[in-house]
Structure 1
Amino acid sequence: MTRQNRRRFIASAGAAGIATGLAGCVDSLRDTGAGGDDDDGGANNTSTDGGNGGGDTDEADDPVEDDDEVGELISDFDEDFDSWYELDSYGDFGTETDEYKTGERALRMVAEEDDAYVGVQRSFSEPLDLEGKNLSLALKVNEPEFYRIEVRLHAPGSGNMLHLNRTHTGPSNHWMRVDLGATGETGSPDLSEVYDIQIIARRRDQDDPDLDFVVDELRAVDAPDTGVVMLTWDDNHESQWRAFEMMEEYGFPGTAGVIHHAVGAGDRLDTGQLREMQSAGWDIVSHPHPEGNWSTPFTEEDFDENEQRQMLEDSKRWLQQRGFEEGAEHYIAPGNVRDATNVELLREIHESSLSFGGGNTGIPMTDTHAMGRIDGHDVDLVKDYIDLAAKYKQACIPMWHVVGEEYDNAEVTEDEYEEILEHIDDADVEVVTQSQIASDDF
């Protein structure tokens, strides 16, 4: 695509998504830094007066109610399309008239190989009051499969800014609503005075192809009174029993993603242990892995719809038959990757699903199948995210597989995990399970 006027129409998306698998659960998806700006590539070149780099400013009207959707509408990218303008010289944006959630168009953003990222911005002549609100954004990614999106709130200017980052790990070519969570702050943002909203997308890997995606419906919901933490453990490793014992001392429940055909193996928890954990308030949820190739994600590149359905239903049935009925309604994605077929099956079979997100998640959730979590290996980062969840009334969902220095594959030592538990105990947060966060029961 040649450089063009940013207001010029961009043809509707037709690029196929990149079918990319990730080995293991999450080791290749680790992010660094709570601020999310260490790889901006110039994205911070915004003006100190709130970023009025062009376009018209708007009066901050009260958000519009829409009875068909959850929350208050901040932007539909249709009636207010001309209020959005380019953030800087990278990438291009325009209207998308073939694929949209509401109205007659959405906003499509494209970054080519030589573009560091692509961003748009909207400014307000009177501040928008987002105090006590959490934001969600409808997204449809054409390519690449994995990328990083950030919403920045200038409150009131770029020197006082809230960063809401999210890593997208699929599906492509499929609408999802992402509940945005805080990942960092610049200065001391005051969300009662938001003068600028920026939306930025960048590749996760410089070798990725062109970035092409569509955004629609930026919405706000009332945040709960208290932020939450959900402690998740994958693959029923034997060391999780020690994590359970440590959490019991604080009265904290957890969420365990179970590979059902591995239960009771030599180095895995058995059914009796899982039942004792459930009795203490834990959710024992579905985390199926293909037998013989445990690191393969559930995508059509490897499994067709019928094969995926069979594995999802087998795992759920195994849990139900052994008394884990509540947890069986919830799912943690193997490999943290999902395609459109998988997501549609999950909406049919489960009440919620959890994947990697690289940041906190806004609550209450507008889409329980877009729940995102973080890698728990960086203790200081986990504590930073817990503090952000407490401050902005959001959900921090760290994940681990193995605890204990005696294990070569441990993500945290017992002392490090104790440090996290102590931090949670001191923070203004509630500890919840997946079923609780999915049903807003906290």
Structure 2
Amino acid sequence: MTSSTHHLAQPLLLPGGHKLPNRFMKSALSESLGDRDCGPTPELERLYARWANGGYGLVVTGNVMVDRRQRGEPGNVVVEDERHLEGLRRWAATFADSEAQLWAQINHPGRQANAMVSKNRPVAPSAIQVKMPGSTKPRALSDAEIRELIERYATTAAVLEKAGFDGVQLHGAHGYLITQFLSPLANQRDDAWGGDAERRRRFVLEVLRAVRAATGKDFAVGIKLNSADFQRGGFSEEESREVVRALVAEGIDLIEVSGGTYENPIMMGKIAESTRAREAFFLEYAAALRDLAPNTPIAVTGGFRSTAAMDGAIANGDCDIVGLGRPTCVFPDAAAQILSGATDRLESPGVRVGLRPVMGRVLDLKQMDGGLDLSWHTDQLHRLGAGKEPDLNRGWKTALGAMVLRNGPEAFRAKRG
């Protein structure tokens, strides 16, 4: 610890009793390293062994899907029963000697499911297609199917607890199923699951209750939640605050603040320069939650790069935990580097599309840049999983080729945790 990281180095006690050794969280990043049967692999174990020794207080995995019939991308791990229990135990055991907590992010893609991977038509609260290239119009879920999905989240959490994970994070951001239920643009039902803000938030509350009922009192449950989806007529900050109020009343252990969807990818850095200068994209909203969640830790991910901004956010009480995403792909020990004073800034180079005058005529360059940058960082995760070091000189053409090979026709809407 250095004087400039005093607040970052402080431990944090979560409402459920879990103690984090410091204020750094490795946020969810979809690794795409599952095997053909959607189980964990030795590559995942090698990757997480690096993060286990990276100095973080909390590490959250990428998407662990609750239903193999509906997956977001190739290489998703799916946990819907105990068929991969031994592999999951090996994955969790990478943290056996670490002070850090290991949580699995559990998720259902809803209308963002990759039909080429799942071989099934996507399902969603309403039959409304997501506005992204290559998307498929979803089928609206029945009441019975919604109740069955809630139980799937609970089953997934229970299996992960048995495997040795310390907790789960519900993915309630970035346009996935929980977000779809919350959004009036995606959820146009007029039954117990939609029609007004109270009924739209019922799904996430029922998922939380089911997970709590299926797991022990020492198993942590957090959520990644949109501050808003930044779309006209969509999920608003006012509605998000009401969801936070309800989650706090249910005893949620941690709320990670994010925002946007893959239709409007604010979380990928599509923000105003004034916000970028403050580094943390959603810090202002997080600070505004203090009155609603005085005893519930708030994490903010997105944009943090300098020690000064990170430690300052904790010192000012704007958030309790600093989340790091893409920098951890090229600096797996990013937290340790900051805490030791080895560096005071994390710069992840990334890439963007070349030949811009030509490519810009046929592609949305901002959307393409976002997808390509994610693919470049996924390539780095695959190198770490293979026991190699990151390749900071990897070019955009190589990253583009890998993106197409991994995702096929869905390549231009690659998703992240």
Higher relative helix content: 2
TM-score exceeds 0.5: no
Normalised TM-score (structure 1) = 0.33
Higher relative strand content: 1
Normalised TM-score (structure 2) = 0.35
Bigger-Rg structure (1/2):
1
